[in-house]
Structure 1
Amino acid sequence: MTTSTASTASRVSARFAAITPSATLAVDAKAKALKAQGRPVIGFGAGEPDFATPDDIVEAAVQAAKDPAMHRYTPAAGLPALREAIAQKTLRDSGYEVDPASVLVTNGGKQAVFQAFASILNPGDEALLPTPYWTTYPEVIKLAGGVTVPVFAGADQDYKVTVDQLEAARTDRTKVLLHCSPSNPTGTVYTPEETRAIGEWALAHGIWVITDEIYEHLLYEDAQPAHIVALVPELANQTLVLNGVAKTYAMTGWRVGWMIGPLDIVKAATSFQSHLTSNVSNMAQRAALQAVSGSLDTVHLMREAFDRRRQTMITMLRQIDGLEVPTPKGAFYAYPNVENILGRSIRGTVPTTSAQLADLILDEVEVAVVPGEAFGPSGFIRLSYALSDDDLVEGVGRVQELLAEAR
């Protein structure tokens, strides 16, 4: 037997070795593992609706599974009927027309995110990333050869970056801006005026915009839809729009997303996808076709439940001394600032980072939250309210009791 002298680290490519695993999925997996051991863990980690996929959508997949035509390869860019339906849905929901040829159906929203960045970034190009950010964005930018430039906005700014901040971060290497509203992880929502200003700034400087609109239907209180291409139509030729069925229709496991953009970019991304995965599962595509073509009545019912849970969570979190809790007006996340808790003794432990605090919360009261380090700077935690009302009250109640002991 030949013994290799190569180290374990060198066996993995530098590109893959540099990837940080998804922190949100790691927290969710740990919570589920503890539950499997019989521990009464309540998980606020996963960004996943707790509702079942609506029956009509499931039935569309069942019928597709019985259709021999769906047992074969189909176009890598997506079923023509689904691409047409996504174009029609964009007109209905976002207020602007899209050529179905400009739509690429992907294996979930994450594939759309990667292919969007990979299709426009060259090595050394800079991507402006409003921070706190979804944990996957910087990893994808890195894989695409780009350089992440964080632009931080704290709780005092409602987690929204300004045009002045973006301009201060811009260099001659700036290629693209990521825009996500409603936001994961903060739940913040940019107003139409704020969105238009950002779009006009990007247009003036020839900067691409990748806009992630996966939470578009989850808006609360006075939050209004704000689609950057509709507000700044001239930006269409330098914008990639990302979306999918996961959050809106409780279809996270179905893995259907899409990107919309200029024809040359979509064609290049389609060529890449033809080698990487080819077409998305036909049964999932037919389910997505039913989702985007159907009524939004069930979506509105789910939103009402999320809104009720949102209000409960915010009320309870604000009862904890030391937490600063901006009001999330979109998605299904709360993102409290916990800096005033850090450095205080809690049951004999003094957490100095939000990661340490999250570990303490899980160990002491069996509640899983995601620390701010997953989304940028320490000093914050993310809690999803996409879980049952009873579990929400029980889980936040446990956190209240624990943090009340901070000295």
Structure 2
Amino acid sequence: MNISDRIASSRPLATTAMHGRAEALRNAGERVIDLSIAISHFPAPGVVLDAVGTALAHGRTMPYTEVGGAVRVREALCAKLRLENGIEASSDEIIVTNGCKQAYYEALYALTDPGDTVAVFRPYWPAYLATAGLLGLKVALADLPETLTPATLAAFGKVKALVLNNPHNPSGKVFTRQELEHILDWAAAGGTHLIVDESYEHLVFEGEHISLAALCQGQRDWRDIGIVTLFSASQSYAMMGWRIGFALAPRNIVGAMQTLQGPITAAAPHLSQVAAAAAFASGAPHAMMADYRLRRDLVLRHLAEVPWIALRAPASGPYLWGDVRALTLDTVGFAERLIEQERVALMPGDALGVPGFIRIGYIADDQATLLEGVRRIVGFGERLRAATP
């Protein structure tokens, strides 16, 4: 039996595919160091485990909630937005989803029609393009600049929506207030929707994360511009496997997202919603971030003298974005040979739209394993360099 045309040309996400290869090797008994994605070595916060334990102990394991999430959970998320992000919202402007990917898919589905064009900065999180492809959308790409200006945005031309990742994966860029103001002015002038992924809001080392919707004051309301803001517990609270996130959007867009979510998954699991409410009420994960900073700087020191890789200390995020063009532009081949020969997985820049770069996750496993993975990468690169004419 043939599969449909709309899925036949699609491919699994490169990020999940590389992680899947690493897992398959582990299941076969191989020791693999997986730096391809960011899976925290931290457990979920204690307040999350306590909240879920209490719910279980009292039998509060509701089979279903409203599709958009339990009212008390959405009200708790409104409080989080007000206190942490400076955004006033009501519970009917919140939808709780099975992770940020679902929120993104639903937002893009609700805001666009097949044939529309969405704008994305490169390098990008691969799911942005994969989802656009599934929905029959065109994608306008532009290289992420050091400093975003009105000219940067004007180069996109007329687009239906801009997908903005702030803080940015994989570069670690944290957009400044002025850059965000440029985006608001451009969107308001062109009638462009904004989908803002703020999943890494708490993973900031330098600078300040500012929610785009919080800048809409006075006559310029985030609802009128059409801003959808996405949040996730996965990275900020080391809850990757809980698959829980939420979106803030104008109520008509939330209603459209619920219409889509209903027949696909219905509500997110109630216990995951309980966990999300506890996580987002717990504030910034200071201890976790101190550990991440130490790891970031440790890897940077070990790679500082390696001649074929150029790295900057990222202002945010769980990744290092390495320029290896002095060694090779074929980073797909680099990554493939690395996992085959050294049993180390990382993400080739091609998968994120920029050949000649690699993405290294540094928050998994213990420090000794992390450094062993870095040593294997360096050793492999040195052999490749020596063999290159």
For the superposition of Structure 1 and Structure 2, which TM-score range results when normalised by the shorter chain? Answer: over 0.9
Contact map agreement 2:98 2:268 (CA 8 A) in 1 = yes
Any residues of structure 2 matched to 1:259-270 within 5 Å, and which?
Answer: 259-270=247-258
Corresponding residue for 1:321?
307
Could you list the structure 1 runs, at least 4 aligned residues long, displaced by more than 6 angstroms after superposition.
Answer: none
CA contact (8 A) 1:130 1:161 kept: no
Identity value in percent: 30
Distance 1:31 1:316, change over 3 A: same
Q: Unmatched 5+ residue regions in structure 1?
A: 1-7, 343-351
1:224 equivalent in alignment to 2:215: no
User: In the alignment, residue 303 of structure 1 is paired with which amino acid?
Assistant: M
Moved more, 161-170 or 93-102: 161-170
1:123 aligns with 2:114: yes
Distance 1:392 1:27 in 2: 17
Do the aligned residues in 2 keep the contact of 1:324 with 1:336 (CA within 8 Å)?
yes
Q: Does 1:42 align with 2:42?
A: no
Partner of 1:212: 197
> How far apart, CA to CA, are the structure 1 residues paired with 2:177 and 2:299?
26
Displacement, 1:291? 1.3
Q: Is 1:64 matched up with 2:55?
A: yes
1:68-102 CA distances to partner (integer Å, 9 max, x unpaired)?
45333211110111101111101111112111110
Say which of 105, 124, 134 aligns to 1:133.
Answer: 124
1:349-371 per-position Cα deviation (integer Å, ceiling 9, x unaligned): xxx51100111222232211110
Paired residue type of 1:306: Y
Aligned partner of 2:243 in structure 1 is 255
Is it true that 1:353 corresponds to 2:353 in the alignment?
A: no
CA positional deviation for 1:322? 2.1
TM-score (norm. length: structure 2): 0.93
Shift of 1:161: 5.0
SS of the equivalent of 2:323 reads coil
Matches within 5 A, 1:3-402: 11-153=2-144, 157-158=145-146, 161-171=148-158, 174-221=159-206, 223-233=207-217, 234=220, 236-237=222-223, 238-296=226-284, 299-342=285-328, 352-387=329-364, 388-402=366-380
Q: Counterparts of 1:364 and 1:231 in 2: how far apart (Å)?
A: 49
CA distance in 2, matches of 1:101, 1:377: 39
In the alignment, structure 2 segments of 5+ residues that lack a partner are: none
CA contact (8 A) 2:75 2:91 kept: yes
Greater shift in the superposed pair: 44-53 or 256-265 = 44-53
Give deviations 1:6-46, integer Å, cap 9, x for gaps: xx6xx111222232211111111212222333333211012
| Superposition deviation, residue 295 in structure 1 | 4.5
* C-alpha distance after superposition, 1:175-207 (max 9, x if no partner): 000110111222222222222222222222211
Classify the secondary structure of the residue corresponding to 2:96. strand
In 2, Cα distance between equivalents of 1:258 and 1:144: 21
Measured on the aligned residues, the alpha-carbon RMSD in Å equals: 1.7
For the Cα contact (< 8 Å) 1:121–1:145, is it kept in 2?
A: no
Three-state SS of the structure 1 residue aligned to 2:231 is strand
- Indicate the SS of the match to 1:247: helix
- The whole-number CA distance in structure 1 between the counterparts of 2:75 and 2:129 is 31
For residues 368 and 358 of structure 1, the distance between their equivalents in structure 2, rounded to whole angstroms, comes to: 7
TM-score, with length taken from structure 1: 0.89
Q: Give the counterpart letter for 2:150 in structure 1.
A: V
CA distance in 1 between counterparts of 2:190 and 2:246 reads: 27
- The residue aligned with 1:4 is none
